[in-house]
Amino acid sequence: MSPLSKMDETGTSPSAALPSSPLPSGEKGLAMKGSEGLTSARILVSLATYNERDNLLPLIREIHAFVPAAEVLVVDDKSPDGTGRLADELAAADPRIHVLHRAGKLGLGTAILAAMRYAIDKEYDFLINMDADFSHHPRYLPAMLAGMKGRDVMIGSRYILGGGTVNWPLSRKAISLSVNGMVRILMRIPAHDCSGAYRCYRVAKLRRTDLDHLLSRGYSFQQEVLFRCRKAGCRIGETPIIFENRRAGASKVNPKEMLRSISVLLWLGIHAFCGWE
């Protein structure tokens, strides 16, 4: 089996980003035009932010350079550096930008959950979540969207052919790879990167996924959501991304939360493995 055909089992090659002809009319809203990646689907890109003032404007510009029709939702937790105020200014100037303000730092997991509920309430077709620190580059957005043909969740994957990480400390890499291995085996999720946050969801399927009983609030959120998506019958695919360490600002990684997350994953994983789901 060639490397490319292996990749096709789980994802799309980068060339899938720019299909030369429109997709079948049965696939709602994924007709893309040339390199602009235009689509008739309603696409929401969610950015959870905590102290991302220096990244926000350049990131939104890049998102719109790749997918001009995308709407952007900033979920800000009262960032002390004024990210929320900047987001309001951007939203006032561009109807494609929306902002959700939360009362304080409530965690990345619940911020993404808030974006999921927003996408469901407002009936978007696709929700793409990205980190707001340029670790998830907008250049991959067209491939993520093209990959939604026949799939319900598309993962921007570091762990398939063509994917990878740059400038990531060895300790983070080791933890990430071990957690992913454990989740794949215990939860039987058919994906190589179950912990990354760069994902596209078909909102109609998210609506049917149980998001009301999530145990996770922190890092295990990504794996738990994927686990619940699989239980809801979602078809999961992966497309390669190179994850780059943040351009500006500091990581919010917290060792206590990491331990809590590993406990949640073990709990869910052992239940799934033993068939007690």
Ligand X SMILES: Nc1nc2c(ncn2[C@@H]2O[C@H](COP(=O)(O)OP(=O)(O)O)[C@@H](O)[C@H]2O)c(=O)[nH]1
Which amino acid is it at 255? P
Which one-letter DSSP state was computed for residue 212?
T
Question: Are 131 and 105 spatial neighbours (Cβ–Cβ below 8 Å)?
Answer: no
Is residue 48 part of the contact set for ligand X (CB under 6 A)?
A: yes
Residue 227 binding partner per list ligand X, Mg ion, none, with a CB distance cut-off of 5 to 8 Å that depends on partner kind: none
Residue 6 binding partner per list ligand X, Mg ion, none, with a CB distance cut-off of 5 to 8 Å that depends on partner kind: none
For the window 134-173, what string marks contact with ligand X as x by the rule CB under 6 A? Answer: -x--------------------------------------
- Of residues 183 through 212, those in contact with Mg ion by CB under 5 A are none
Residue 49 binding partner per list ligand X, Mg ion, none, with a CB distance cut-off of 5 to 8 Å that depends on partner kind: ligand X
SS3 202: strand
227 CB neighbour count, 10 Å cutoff = 26
The H or E element spanning position 164 is strand 164-166
Contacts 24+ apart (CB under 8 A), 169-175: 172/253, 175/258
Is residue 135 part of the contact set for Mg ion (CB under 5 A)?
A: yes
For the chain, the distance separating the N- and C-terminal CA atoms, rounded to the nearest angstrom, is: 35
Q: How far is the CB of 160 from Mg ion (least distance, A)?
A: 20
For the window 78-107, what string marks contact with ligand X as x by the rule CB under 6 A? Answer: ---------------------------xxx
Is residue 133 part of the contact set for Mg ion (CB under 5 A)?
A: yes
What is the Cα gyration radius of the chain?
18
Q: How far is the CB of 51 from Mg ion (least distance, A)?
A: 11
Which residues, 6 or more positions from 230, have their beta carbon under 8 angstroms from its beta carbon?
187, 188, 189, 190, 236
Is residue 252 part of the contact set for ligand X (CB under 6 A)?
A: yes
- Of residues 5 through 44, those in contact with ligand X by CB under 6 A are none
Determine the longest span between alpha carbons in the chain, in angstroms: 53
- Of residues 231 through 250, those in contact with Mg ion by CB under 5 A are 246
In the complex, the residues that contact ligand X under the rule CB under 6 A are 48-50, 52, 75-77, 105-108, 111, 131-133, 135, 246, 251-253
